[in-house]
Structure 1
Amino acid sequence: MRPLRTVAGAERIVVVGAGLAGLSAALHLRGNGREVTVLERDRAVGGRVGTHAGPGYEIDNGATVLTMPELISDALAAVGADFTSVDPPLRIHPMTPAYHARFADGSSLDVYSDPDRMVAEVTRVCGPDEARRYLRLRRWLADIFDAEFARFMDANFDSPLDLVGSADAARDLLRLVRLGGFGRLGARVNRKVSDPRLRRIFTFQALYAGVAPARALAVYAAIAHMDTSLGVFSVDGGMRSVARALADALVTAGGTVRLGAEVADLEFEGRRVVAVRTVDGDRHPCDAVVLTPDLPVVDALLPRPRRRPTVASPSAVVLHGTVPTSVTAGWAAGHHHTIDFGSAWEDTFAEITARRGRGRLMRDPSLLITRPALSDPGLLLTRDGVEHEPLSVLAPCPNLDSAPFDWQELACPYSAELCSVLERRGYGGITAGFRIDRVDTPRTWFDRGMIAGSPFGGAHLFRQTGPFRRRNLDPRYPNVVLAGSGTVPGVGVPTVLLSGRLAAERLGVTRPRRTVGGADPGLN
């Protein structure tokens, strides 16, 4: 097997972007003794794990679902830190249930990571026969995850041939084939369980990969395994606390984080980067650079444009604001995360994943409602003597390539439409009580440099998956390494943390890897 291509002799490294990928890469590099400077254009760390500061409150305006927190522990451990040593301490708690799911027929189901509790819940809602089928599905999800994690997710590739470049790799690839990993996710799940409600719960995660369940590769059952078996976690102070903790650990260990430092260009000598310049005129010499922004921003910094286009995932509209707790007290959905499914399913995905201008808004939307104060009461606020809680509502929608809507005109009426839908579904008082302070749309994401206005990055089509995804080391630029959702292994909090570690490995960092998927000793 050929040795993996790496960058030799890189002691001074500039990381562009202080999102989770950049901070993960920086910690692994700093733990290996490298001189690391992180440049972040915003005034706060976090990237996609960002923050909306409303009047009297803060709320995450990026990822809200945390799985596999042991990957955060790994990044902190690279510099000898842990959850308790950062300032302020990072407090992470398992959520029980992970999700509350509501369906158009009026039924609901709680999703538990514990198999016994989930069996009891499935028995209650779907009957004992379906509970037995659920256990069969759960075993298959775990087998898919175990077969692919170390070899295909937490791994660098120089070529698709690396999939069979060793006896171990060939064995794991054959195992995935036998498990049906290269079939279609929707079809495989449908064979395991028959209740349409369970089918939705174990396939909606395909949206994270940017593909409809009917078209997604079954290897993305690994995401459902993370979501429904390994556990979903809440973070005191919100997901933004994770980025702040990683940045604190890096600075404490001697790394540098510069905020408000937007990169203007890269200085090349031949094909190698020798310095990074910011818009305010600062020059940062380096032996290598790690680029974590979205691919349009990355490609604008590199001398030669990439010819192969990237197909983007669907996008999302997200409403952020507050609502009186006297209103939410009457809601049946009293959970941190509620997935409110419409009656349409296949049609919904067809609408938001259509190509070349044929995309449509969901006629019968499935929505994610996030109420973080239910896990962290410290987020409650009082306004004019009335207690309020922060609230976010996420509606998947087409990206700007799929549907080039004028979101400046559409944002307000579509927000009102979503509130009307929720009012009809039992969220009484939301139309009048939800004070919407911010609406993120595909235009928001596009203005931040995200491909086609999608916060989910490149869709995980077969030709954009694993070794076929944008490589994190481009042979045209021998000391430029990529990290983040645009490169391997892909989109999501666990995967971008992994991408940071993989980028560090491209720069010669090696370290033992712990077993993933179990309880973390640092959890509260």
Structure 2
Amino acid sequence: MIEQDQNAAIVIGAGLGGLSAAMRLGAKGYAVTVLDRLEQPGGRGSSITQDGHRFDLGPTIITVPQVYEQLWAACGRDFHKDVDLRPMDPFYEVRWQDGSTFTARQDTDAMLAEVARLSPRDVKGYKKFLRDSERCYKVGFEGMVAKPMHKLWETIKVLPTFALLRADRSILGLAKARVKDARLRMALSFHPLFIGGDPMHVTSMYALVAYLEKEFGVHYAMGGVQAIADAMVKVIRSQGGQVRLGVDVDEILVDRNAAKGVRLANDEVLNAPLVVSNADAGHTYRHLLRNKSRKRWTDRKLTSRRWSMGLFVWYFGTKGTALKWPDVGHHTITNAPRYEGLLHDIFIKGKLADDMSLYIHRPSRTDPSVAPAGDDTFYVLSPVPHLGFDDPVDWGRQAAAYKAKVQAEVEKYLPGFADHISTEMILTPEDFRDRYLSPNGSGFSIEPRILQSAWFRPHNISEEADGLYLVGAGTHPGAGVPGVISSAEVLGKLVPDAPVRPEMKVAAE
């Protein structure tokens, strides 16, 4: 039997969390092998190129650039030499059915002017909301995001501060306490939807997003988030690590309650005493550890969690439209007539509603590489129920009809767009389940409610096997690109430096 290399580490999944973990481990001296079943790195942040159009499949908005800068610096590299990050101004535009709009920018005076234009009586309340958001940032982001939370005491000791900040109140509840205008209440509370949370139920601590945007800006990576993933792969390989794509991990191997490697779907076995899973926490425990008895994350416990919503995403390219629809920028958020009712349908009832709120992404306004010259690339995202309800949406039967409803809604903002479509593709929650192995086809793993966060979330250091760690959206600190990158920073604080190789000891002597 060949003795296991104590410096070996395996990372399951080449999503942004897994790639960040591999970079951190490589910087610590580990010989890292990253395994992913897709043909492109990036996981949900990967892309597909079709008929000259690059469709970024997942995240498009980059915030908190320092998390990338710190990750690269830990590897002795300069992030900005590897990735071309462009600040967005404006950040995005929110639109309502009555024709009113709200344009989000970094400048405080510009934001105050927007609030005053919509609802002059709410300027004072908006200023209070900004103060709330800064306090939430200092406690929730600076104090917790990149800190290990696998010990219950770490969560208990912040509870008094949470109580003072009224973290028991939802983000929508906080918005209602600060402003009266229904449109502003939506504009100040919708951000948790970008990480899979119901604004009516996730904690008001997510007000911190407003501070993040104001303090650090909103950015776009030229080449899309795929460019960040590709740059990560280059760093990993420069460290001597391997990234193997098109490889399906079937099981995490455990011996005497310690991880010892993985078995691939083709029965190949890779040995390592350190295994990091960037697969969804639900998939990690229910499938990859299916042959091991589990103490905490049993099938029953995972089934009882509340999962984030699903996503219906329509990707399409349009021919000869680069100069059309000049009022539609890079990021546009449209609103259904109902806000709370639609959220209730999506998150509580599991009902596919006729009305919808949409995120329209038009990267060709910033990045000419996404489309042929003169053309446009779009994706339109609609939050929908996940597949875990008692009567889930049958997307095989309903996708075409729902797409027609989405088309009718998009037509309000891009008149005549359907006549210019040259290529298209659709992802539904069923595709998220099958492509990303996401339980219930949820878009962002476990929903970030207060009792599903910090210690209550699957831990970065697994309780189920020694030498097993978790990164990504399903573990602490949660979904969103800064969250999954930060999960690898937590990993770096938990894993010791690699053992010194025997030959290095001899050289040192």
TM-score (norm 1): 0.87
1:348 corresponds to which residue?
A: 342
Instruction: Say whether the 8 Å CA contact 1:420–1:431 is kept in structure 2.
Output: no
Which amino acid is the alignment partner of residue 293 of structure 2? R
Deviation at 1:173, TM superposition (A): 4.1
1:237 corresponds to which residue?
A: 223
- Corresponding residue to 1:389 among 357, 376, 391: 376
Which amino acid is the alignment partner of residue 506 of structure 1? L
Partner SS state of residue 335, structure 1:
coil
Partner SS state of residue 132, structure 2:
helix
Go from structure 1 to structure 2 and tell me whether the alpha carbon gap of 1:84 and 1:63 turns closer, same or farther (over 3 Å shift): closer
2:506 corresponds to which residue?
A: none
Deviation at 1:509, TM superposition (A): 5.5
Indicate the larger mover: 68-77 or 303-312: 303-312
Partner SS state of residue 59, structure 2:
coil
Deviation at 1:262, TM superposition (A): 1.5
Partner SS state of residue 438, structure 1:
strand
Which amino acid is the alignment partner of residue 144 of structure 1? C
Considering fraction of residues, name the structure with more helix: 2
1:27 corresponds to which residue?
A: 23
Instruction: Say whether the 8 Å CA contact 1:319–1:394 is kept in structure 2.
Output: yes
Instruction: Say whether the 8 Å CA contact 2:53–2:370 is kept in structure 1.
Output: yes
- Corresponding residue to 1:124 among 117, 124, 128: 117
Deviation at 1:228, TM superposition (A): 5.3
Structure 1 residues 385-437: Cα deviation after superposition (integer angstroms, max 9, x where no partner): xx3110100000000113512212221221121111222x2421023333452
Go from structure 1 to structure 2 and tell me whether the alpha carbon gap of 1:461 and 1:175 turns closer, same or farther (over 3 Å shift): closer
1:115 corresponds to which residue?
A: 108
1: distance between equivalents of 2:394 and 2:138?
44
2:396 corresponds to which residue?
A: 408
- Corresponding residue to 1:322 among 314, 317, 329: 317
Equivalent positions of 1:22-421 (< 5 A) are: 22-85=18-81, 89-127=82-120, 129-164=121-156, 170=157, 172-227=158-213, 229-299=215-285, 300-302=287-289, 303-304=292-293, 306=298, 307-309=300-302, 310-326=305-321, 329-331=323-325, 333-354=327-348, 358-382=349-373, 387-402=374-389, 403-421=391-409
1: distance between equivalents of 2:186 and 2:392?
28
Deviation at 1:345, TM superposition (A): 0.5
Deviation at 1:155, TM superposition (A): 1.5
Instruction: Say whether the 8 Å CA contact 1:451–1:457 is kept in structure 2.
Output: yes
Instruction: Say whether the 8 Å CA contact 2:172–2:199 is kept in structure 1.
Output: yes
2: distance between equivalents of 1:470 and 1:269?
22
1: distance between equivalents of 2:473 and 2:80?
28
1:471 aligns with 2:468: no
2:504 corresponds to which residue?
A: none
2: distance between equivalents of 1:360 and 1:478?
41
Deviation at 1:223, TM superposition (A): 3.2
Instruction: Say whether the 8 Å CA contact 1:314–1:398 is kept in structure 2.
Output: yes
1: distance between equivalents of 2:215 and 2:182?
19
Go from structure 1 to structure 2 and tell me whether the alpha carbon gap of 1:10 and 1:179 turns closer, same or farther (over 3 Å shift): farther
Structure 1 residues 217-268: Cα deviation after superposition (integer angstroms, max 9, x where no partner): 1112223433455321111011111111111111112222111222122332
2: distance between equivalents of 1:274 and 1:211?
35
Instruction: Say whether the 8 Å CA contact 1:23–1:247 is kept in structure 2.
Output: yes
Go from structure 1 to structure 2 and tell me whether the alpha carbon gap of 1:130 and 1:73 turns closer, same or farther (over 3 Å shift): same
Which amino acid is the alignment partner of residue 182 of structure 1? D
1: distance between equivalents of 2:272 and 2:470?
15
1:457 corresponds to which residue?
A: 445
Indicate the larger mover: 150-159 or 478-487: 150-159
- Corresponding residue to 1:443 among 420, 427, 430: 430
Go from structure 1 to structure 2 and tell me whether the alpha carbon gap of 1:351 and 1:481 turns closer, same or farther (over 3 Å shift): same
Which amino acid is the alignment partner of residue 325 of structure 2? W
Go from structure 1 to structure 2 and tell me whether the alpha carbon gap of 1:209 and 1:374 turns closer, same or farther (over 3 Å shift): closer
2: distance between equivalents of 1:454 and 1:206?
14
Structure 1 residues 147-168: Cα deviation after superposition (integer angstroms, max 9, x where no partner): 122332221123322224xxxx
Which amino acid is the alignment partner of residue 94 of structure 1? P
Go from structure 1 to structure 2 and tell me whether the alpha carbon gap of 1:462 and 1:84 turns closer, same or farther (over 3 Å shift): closer
Which amino acid is the alignment partner of residue 73 of structure 2? A
TM-score (norm 2): 0.90
Instruction: Say whether the 8 Å CA contact 1:319–1:436 is kept in structure 2.
Output: no
Go from structure 1 to structure 2 and tell me whether the alpha carbon gap of 1:150 and 1:84 turns closer, same or farther (over 3 Å shift): closer
Deviation at 1:336, TM superposition (A): 0.6
Q: Between Structure 1 and Structure 2, how many residues are aligned?
A: 483
Deviation at 1:329, TM superposition (A): 4.0
**Coordinate RMSD, CA, aligned:** 2.1
- Corresponding residue to 2:475 among 458, 464, 487: 487
Percentage identity across paired residues of the two chains: 29
2: distance between equivalents of 1:163 and 1:490?
15
Which amino acid is the alignment partner of residue 266 of structure 1? I
1: distance between equivalents of 2:83 and 2:413?
35
Deviation at 1:281, TM superposition (A): 4.3
Structure 1 residues 253-309: Cα deviation after superposition (integer angstroms, max 9, x where no partner): 222211122212233221112222323444322121001111343121112352312
1:422 corresponds to which residue?
A: 410
2: distance between equivalents of 1:463 and 1:380?
43
